[in-house]
Amino acid sequence: MYSFKNDYSEGAHPRILSSLIESNLEQHEGYGEDKYTKEAIELLKKRMDNQHVDVHLLSGGTQANLTALSAFLRPHEAVIAANTGHILVHETGAIEATGHKIISIDTDDGKLTSMKVKMALDYHTDEHMVKPKLVYISNPTEIGSIYTKSELESLSSFCRENKLILYVDGARLGSALCSEENDMTLPELASLVDAFYIGGTKNGALIGEALVICSDCLKEDFRFHLKQKGALLAKGRLLGIQFLELFKDELYFDLARHANNMAKLLKEGLCSEGYKFLTHSPSNQIFPILPNKLIEKLEESYAFYIWQKIDKDNSAIRLVTSWATDEKDVLGLIESVKNFR
């Protein structure tokens, strides 16, 4: 049974494991004050060509989202998110549990636009309602689409004009930046948003996300928020070592490109058999629409999620490739589809 359910089924890239083992018996300061974390933070700043951002390393995406958003918002302020947004659907109400309402916006492609955000602003008009303050987007989105530079520029400009915080969930940011359809660099992303995180868990790390705070007004006392939310790890070196290894050369981007290439190979194989897709996804998640009988056959050898029922005979499934996906398993699934005919 081979899994295409997610991009964190495997452990970590061997280089990361090797670095963790080599440094295992070294003694270092705790809570992110170790030399590895400091070096990783400086390296990330260099990668973003921006020495003015603050970088904090956390263990996971949900932890990053709830820590950041609860720190950035006042009690009466709310988040605007697409109806497919991870914080709305797959985080067990973590944001709401901190006291902040999420305003859901219907989208066809998982992406928010300035026009859609304006609709939420126009509806929430006075102190009898929550005040929309933060715009949450994912890149890639939960359905695999990515933001182009012009789309993010437009959204960024609108948010700044309306004093809204623009925050990007980057759990799969490597996949977005390495997509064949991407036209935006990491430094450009950092210049357009108020905060975002670089996902490591889904791109070769054991655990870890790098939260980048770009706007000065959001930086103050953030380590207090980390500690209060249980995000300030005593053995912070474990995160620092991993991000140092991922970014000291092109490893982070090479792993993301591999995941994207495997997804592209899957897509091309399914397209050649005449199957269509639920969404346009140029990242490492694809959503083919297949006959239910074929899905049942594939489930004998492969694990994946059934994403959406299309009609009584067909459903869309989600196939996710990772930094470690073996091409032979991709070709095996394609061959299974061909044999079904």
Q: What is the 3-state secondary structure (H, E, C) of 153-182?
A: HHHHHHHHHCCCEEEEECCCHHHHHCCCCC
pLDDT at 271: 97
Domain check: are 39 and 181 in the same one?
A: yes
CATH for 322:
3.90.1150.10
Instruction: For 105-162, write each residue's pLDDT tens digit.
Output: 999 999 999 999 999 999 999 999 999 999 999 999 999 999 999 999 999 999 999 9
pLDDT at 49: 97
* CA–CA gap between residue 274 and residue 43 (Å, rounded): 45
* CA–CA gap between residue 214 and residue 204 (Å, rounded): 25
* CA–CA gap between residue 61 and residue 264 (Å, rounded): 25
pLDDT at 300: 96
Domain check: are 317 and 191 in the same one?
A: no
Domain check: are 293 and 176 in the same one?
A: no
Query: Mean of the pLDDT values across residues 197-220?
Result: 98
pLDDT at 60: 97
**Average pLDDT in the chain:** 97
pLDDT at 205: 98
Q: Please say if the pLDDT value at position 216 is more than 80.
A: yes
Domain check: are 311 and 200 in the same one?
A: no
pLDDT at 275: 97
pLDDT at 317: 98
Domain check: are 307 and 238 in the same one?
A: no
In the three-class reduction of DSSP (H, G, I as helix; E, B as strand; rest coil), residue 198 is classed as: strand
**Integer-rounded Cα radius of gyration of the chain:** 20
pLDDT at 32: 97
207 alpha carbon, distance to own chain's centre: 13
Q: In this structure, are residues 287 and 316 in contact, taking their beta carbons and an 8 Å threshold?
A: yes
Instruction: For 244-266, write each residue's pLDDT tens digit.
Output: 999 999 999 999 999 999 999 99
Q: In this structure, are residues 151 and 188 in contact, taking their beta carbons and an 8 Å threshold?
A: no
Confidence of residue 95 (pLDDT cuts 50, 70, 90): very high
Domain check: are 232 and 269 in the same one?
A: no
Q: Please say if the pLDDT value at position 341 is more than 80.
A: no
Domain check: are 309 and 180 in the same one?
A: no
Domain check: are 235 and 265 in the same one?
A: no
CATH for 52:
3.40.640.10
Query: Mean of the pLDDT values across residues 201-224?
Result: 98
How would DSSP label each residue in 72-92? HS-TTEEEEEETT-HHHHSST
Domain end among 215, 230, 247: 247
Q: Domain residues for 262? A: 2-6+253-340
Domain check: are 60 and 175 in the same one?
A: yes
pLDDT at 135: 98
pLDDT at 285: 98
* CA–CA gap between residue 314 and residue 29 (Å, rounded): 56
- Say if residue 140 is preceded by a cis peptide, omega within 30 of 0: yes
Domain check: are 95 and 238 in the same one?
A: yes
Confidence of residue 304 (pLDDT cuts 50, 70, 90): very high
Beta carbons within 8 Å of 201's beta carbon, 6+ residues apart: 8, 60, 61, 171, 207, 208, 209
β-strand partners of 52: none
pLDDT at 161: 98
Domain check: are 320 and 229 in the same one?
A: no
Domain end among 182, 214, 247: 247
Residue found by looking up tokens 């944001």 in the block? 95
pLDDT at 118: 98
Beta carbons within 8 Å of 62's beta carbon, 6+ residues apart: 91, 92, 94
The one-letter code for the residue type at 82 is: A
Domain count, the chain: 2
pLDDT at 208: 98
Q: Please say if the pLDDT value at position 58 is more than 90.
A: yes
pLDDT at 109: 95
Domain end among 199, 226, 247: 247
Domain check: are 149 and 74 in the same one?
A: yes
- What is the percent of the chain with per-residue pLDDT over 90, rounded to a whole number? 99
pLDDT at 242: 98
Per the document, the length of the chain is: 341
pLDDT at 267: 98
